[in-house]
Amino acid sequence: MSLRLSHITLLTAVVLAVGAGHIQCVDAVELLGDSGPSEERQTAPAPAQREQLAANSSSEVSGPRDPIDASRRNALVEAIENTGPAVVTINVISIQRERVMDPFYFDFFDPFGFQRRGRQLRERRVESVGTGFFFDDRGHILTNNHVIENAHEIAVSLPDGRTLDVELVGQDNITDLAVLRVDGENVPSAPLGDSDDLYIGEWVIAIGNPFGILMNDPQPSVSVGVVSAKNRRVVPQAAPLRRLYQDMIQTDAAINPGNSGGPLVTARGEVVGVNTMIFSDGGGSVGLGFAIPINRARRVVDEILEYGRRRNPWAGFHVTDVRGLQDRVAQHLDLQTGQGVLVERILEDSPAYRAGLRVGDVITAIDGEPVVSSADVDYGVWSKFVGDTITIEVDRRGQTREFTFEIVELTR
């Protein structure tokens, strides 16, 4: 009877141990009693040993939690901590003028207002918010030009709660970049990286102030994604004055209204782009965001800091698409190719003319990149800075020629 009871007790101990998620065979041996050889008997631990066992058991329980806590503080968290303090909210007030009807005016002979008398010019203050970031220790802020365009008043709010007045150093509408400067002291700056050294698929962080007016909070928010593509050429339909977005970094990190001008940051904590635009049907992020590469932005910034503007590059010729020409015109010009753009005007004092380019030449490539339309020429020339060289490949009555010359500043 006692043997049967011992077996039942053993079985019960094993079942309970399994239910608790672990099996301890030592406890099962103790339940069988002192029936084995003396060298196999288990002896109760001394008090000092029990304390040591308890300490070891406690460390085993808490041990697995430490790697999890350590993993939470990853490279992305450190990158945000490294760059976030340099990100600012840009508060802009612009003045919009509109004509409104005087509610007390009524012309009996013109009840429908066809003559538009009685209309008054009214000014309306419009508030908007964008993002920027300090990029040096002299208080300079980089942002998008469309953030501060037509601004009547500009102020910036730092994450630490300070609000500082700023002055506009310079802006460039074509590249959509602007530089501001504050007089405050102890402003942090974000380290700049190398946008040419990006991998498609690597982690990036978009930092900014999406829908900043609604939140009314200077602390920036972050979104994480990857580099989806590089060297994108984007032609926004609504862009005024033909902004040229080229070599853009595409990312699926969420970029929303208010993020414009904020930094795109790598896991190293380095700025590699200026968040600029999105493709969206409803105004929110759908995973198609674009940033101006910081290497291009640096060159624009250098020009603005030295000259107060970006000096406009100029080559001195005008083109039209070959595809748009009528057949009889192409035959008259003796064109030997259906691809490229036709040089239809060129100034004799231009660098292109001095290099040998002539009216009637068909440009087929710029710096080795194929030219399909006149937009390719615009991108090719405007991607240059004053003093850069450009190589143009043309088809001249069936013969291929190359002309290399230096880009100069457009002064008129």
pLDDT digits over 215-263, tens only?
Answer: 567 788 899 999 999 999 887 654 445 788 989 999 999 888 888 999 9
State the catalytic residues.
146, 176, 260
Q: Are 352 and 403 in contact (CB under 8 A)?
A: yes
Residues 39 and 90 in one domain: no
- Judged against a pLDDT cut of 70, whether residue 320 lies above it is answered with yes
Residues 6+ apart with CB under 8 A from 137: 187, 189
Report the distance separating Cα 261 and Cα 253, nearest Å. 15
**Measuring CA to CA, which residue among 242, 290, 271 is closest to residue 141?**
271
Q: Which amino acid is at 301?
A: V
* Span 36-68, pLDDT tens digits: 444 444 455 555 555 555 555 544 544 456 778
Residues 204 and 348 in one domain: no
Enter the tokens of residue 124. Answer: 């309306």
* Span 172-202, pLDDT tens digits: 999 999 999 998 778 899 999 999 999 999 9
Output the pLDDT for position 49.
59
Domain count, the chain: 3
Residue ending a domain, among 259, 282, 310, is 310
Report the distance separating Cα 114 and Cα 119, nearest Å. 11
Output the pLDDT for position 55.
52
328 DSSP assignment: H
Percent of the chain with pLDDT over 90: 50
Residues 337 and 282 in one domain: no
Residue ending a domain, among 36, 60, 84, is 60
- Element holding 52 (H helix, E strand): helix 47-62
Residues 146 and 37 in one domain: no
Output the pLDDT for position 70.
76
**Measuring CA to CA, which residue among 79, 290, 84, 74 is closest to residue 207?**
84
The residue range of the domain holding 127 is 75-310
Q: How confident is the model at residue 108 (pLDDT cuts 50, 70, 90)?
A: low
Residue ending a domain, among 310, 343, 375, is 310
Mean pLDDT (whole number) for 378-388: 93
Q: Does residue 372 form part of some domain?
A: yes
